[in-house]
Amino acid sequence: MKYLIHSCPERLWYVQGYLIPSMLKQGIDIKSIQVWNDSDHKGCLFSTMDSFRSLSNNEYGTWHLQDDVLISSQFKQKTEYPKFSIVSGYCSKYIVNRPPGVTNLWNMWYSFPCIYIKNRYAKECADWFYSEAVNDSKYQDWVESKKYDDEFFKIFMRQNYPHLIIYQENPNLVEHVDWLIGGSVLSPEKKEQRTSRHWVEPELVDELRRQLEENNEYAKI
């Protein structure tokens, strides 16, 4: 299994000091983990599409993680053998009426903090984005904002694979912890805690907070 962590220079300290070590502790092979660092600050949208375009064109898939998550105690076990082409591992507490388990693309969570995608879908999405969407006037506000990578992926999939069945994990596989490590890099004006709807291990968040405080890195920007 391959894991791709989408990061930026401001968050490498957390990825290298906390996220990757937590994955290794569960037995994930370091060779299976790649960090995609937006060193040129292209923004989340373009960095994500570039990473999609870089993937091998095969029937294998990749788990995509963002750089501000905490993995569950069952993360390795739950991610080793995906049975669906897309598996959502995170659901924001603000998302309602979209069920976990087996469902369709129309019920898909905003799951880019943790999502498994077959490589060919990701590559096709990036090709569509750069050949069509980036020049489409109805998407210009999104393109200029350098955000909405998850929206573009949903649009592409719904247009091209409208009948695809996906899976959504409950409990969630990660918790969103940007509020512990300095807040949102992409949208610093957002102050609310955008946590998971289906997270069942609050003790892991408490332990991470304790570690950050001990290392003088709590709420580090």
138-173 residue pLDDT tens: 999 999 999 999 999 999 999 999 999 999 999 999
- The H or E element containing residue 154 is helix 149-160
Residue 57 is predicted with a pLDDT of: 79
CA distances, 194 to each of 47, 68, 142, 161 (Å): 22, 11, 21, 29
Please give the Cα distance from 148 to 49 (Å, whole number): 11
Residue pLDDT, tens place only, 30-87: 999 999 999 999 999 999 999 999 998 777 999 999 999 999 999 999 999 999 999 9
Q: How confident is the model at residue 193 (pLDDT cuts 50, 70, 90)?
A: confident
Confidence tier at 194 by pLDDT (50, 70, 90): confident
CB 196, CB 174: distance < 8 Å? yes
Give the chain's domains with CATH numbers.
2-214 (3.90.550)
2: exposed, middle or buried (Cβ count in 10 Å: 0-12, 13-18, 19+): middle
- The values of phi and psi at residue 196, to 5°, are -80, 145
* Predicted local confidence at residue 189, as pLDDT: 47
Kindly state the greatest CA–CA separation across the chain: 49
Read off the pLDDT band of 186 (50, 70, 90): low
